[in-house]
Amino acid sequence: MSHDGEKELQKEAKRWQELAREKGISQAADYYWKRVFPLVREKFKTENSHLAGSYGGLILTLGTTPQPIILTLEAIEPRKVYFLYTKETEKHMLKIVEEVSFLREHSVPYDRDLVDPGNPLELYEKIGRKWAEWYREGSFRCAVCNTGGKKSMVSAAAAAANFLGIDIIYVDHESYLEDLRVPEPGAERLTVLPNPLVAMGELKLKEARSLFNAGNHETARRVLDEVRQELGGREALPVGMTVEVLSILVEGYMLWDLFHYGNAWEKLKKGYDLAARYHLDIDLETVSMNIIALEELAREPKNKSLFSVLRDDRRFGLRLLADLLCNAWRKAKAGFYDDGVVRLYRCLELVAQMRLAGVPDYLGGPVNSDNPDWRKIPEEIKERFADIAAEVYRSEKSRGPGTPRQAFPGNLGLASGHMLLFAMGDYIWRKSKLEDLKDFISDVKKRNELMLVHGKKRAKQEDVEVFRGYVEFFLGKLAEEEGVDWKEMLEEHTFVTL
């Protein structure tokens, strides 16, 4: 409200008080409604403009003073209104409807029920039934305004709101005219009392989101379970539905983190559908991309060996590699560097397995890393492999002239697999030098020094970065050959931020 408007309100309010003291409140009522109350309404609505549209449904108990109810309705601008009135207050409800334009013009639907102010159970039943009706039609925030009505009505409405998880709002005042027994015009204030159950739930929801985003998925689920227990079956919107959906999504992502792709896909799909239906504050675009990734991963045949899968479906191998990389990065972001390095090491093994499974016939392929058939591999490639192995391992153990070469391994691990690919001139190593291969093998062997494997050392962030760099290099090469945007693929495998 402008400064001039404030001055005009003060002037008109002063004039009204003089009339009321001289002739009585009832005689000054017409002046109040025509000259004072329009200015009060303007001021009140301006001061509470931030609350407009914040509640879709408004339940009001009515007393014998319609002004605060009018102020509340015009400030909140609900989509649905429900009046609880008594025989004594029905005429005041009609006054409210006449004064509030969106009720008078029926642009906002309103319903009403006559109640016995001395029967709190009746109020509980009517408020609960109306809330359930609105909820079925489409969930939105509700509030109870218990400014008006007898103390029994006010108390019963507050108790019902607390059980249902509904906020309570009422019109208070900063100053009171004792002699006239009315609030001073312009001193009215709208007070919002968030439901304590909901408020505490919101705090814990924030905690659960933070834990999930930090990679502590199990702890996040425990916090959500605590909130559900505290709600005790109360469907406290929006917290109740948000808790339900977040619980489903968190469980889905936990399953994904454990590589249970099919079950994870079902959970994320269910959580996505509910979040979209109830317009919850969840990044649905990212969840949708995650669902695409899971749908691809869930296609993995159940009765085939990994070698057969990689041989027959190169795109699936890319998906699996992207998923392992993102899984490793989540562990590292949560501070579990050892876990991150071990997973990245597995990524590099998988790269070799994927490429060997795709080796063409003329080079002796496809090659099963678990049981390579060296008889099929051309002699010149075996000779080159032996030379590379001798050169690579020379830095670890001095090998003088005439030292016998290592026998061809019965299974191909990370180092031997990549050495064979290098010997074959595979695409991922084609532009690299032998020194690059030696550096690579030297770096990845640090994994064997970790406490989780054979050693006593703990991994650091720098170790994770080295391994991640190699994985992203090879993933880029593989995606390039397949014509896939690997960065977009990684986005699909990156967990949502809740």
- Read off the pTM: 0.63
How do residues 417-465 score in pLDDT, each as one tens digit? 999 999 999 999 998 999 999 999 988 887 766 655 555 678 888 889 9
How do residues 147-201 score in pLDDT, each as one tens digit? 999 888 999 998 888 777 788 999 998 898 988 888 899 999 999 887 666 666 6
Lookup result for tokens 């830095």: 395
C-alpha 331/C-alpha 340 separation (Å) is 5
Lowest mean pLDDT among 27-36, 143-152, 387-396, 416-425: 387-396
C-alpha 203/C-alpha 198 separation (Å) is 9
CATH number of this structure's domain 199-297, picked from the four choices 1.25.40, 2.40.50, 2.40.128, 1.10.3470: 1.25.40
Question: What is the pLDDT, as a whole number, of residue 80?
Answer: 94
C-alpha 59/C-alpha 135 separation (Å) is 14
Report whether pLDDT(248) > 60. Answer: yes
C-alpha 198/C-alpha 191 separation (Å) is 17
CATH number of 48-191: 3.40.50.10770
Which of residues 52 and 132 earns the better pLDDT score? 52
Residue 408, SS3 per DSSP? coil
C-alpha 177/C-alpha 197 separation (Å) is 36
What percentage of the chain reaches a pLDDT higher than 90? 60
Report whether pLDDT(136) > 80. Answer: no
Residues constituting the chain: 498
Report whether pLDDT(223) > 90. Answer: no
C-alpha 288/C-alpha 496 separation (Å) is 10
Q: What sign does the dihedral 97-45-191-31 (CA atoms) show?
A: negative
**How far is the CA of 219 from the CAs of 107, 207, 212, in angstroms?**
47, 10, 8
Domain ranges of the chain: 48-191, 199-297, 306-493
- Read off the tokens for 154: 């006010």
Question: What is the pLDDT, as a whole number, of residue 401?
Answer: 42
**The one-letter amino acid at 115:** V
Question: What is the pLDDT, as a whole number, of residue 139?
Answer: 61
DSSP-derived secondary structure letter, 403: P
Q: Where are the extended beta strands (E) located within 76-224?
A: 80-85, 110-114, 142-145, 167-173, 176-177, 182-183, 188-193
Q: Residue 194, preceding bond cis, omega within 30 degrees?
A: no
Question: What is the pLDDT, as a whole number, of residue 406?
Answer: 53
Question: What is the pLDDT, as a whole number, of residue 226?
Answer: 80
Listed in sequence order, the residues at least 6 apart from 82 whose beta carbon sits closer than 8 Å to its beta carbon are 57, 58, 59, 60, 110, 111, 112, 113, 130
| Helix (H), strand (E) counts: the chain | 21, 8
C-alpha 397/C-alpha 381 separation (Å) is 24
What mean pLDDT, rounded, does the chain reach? 88
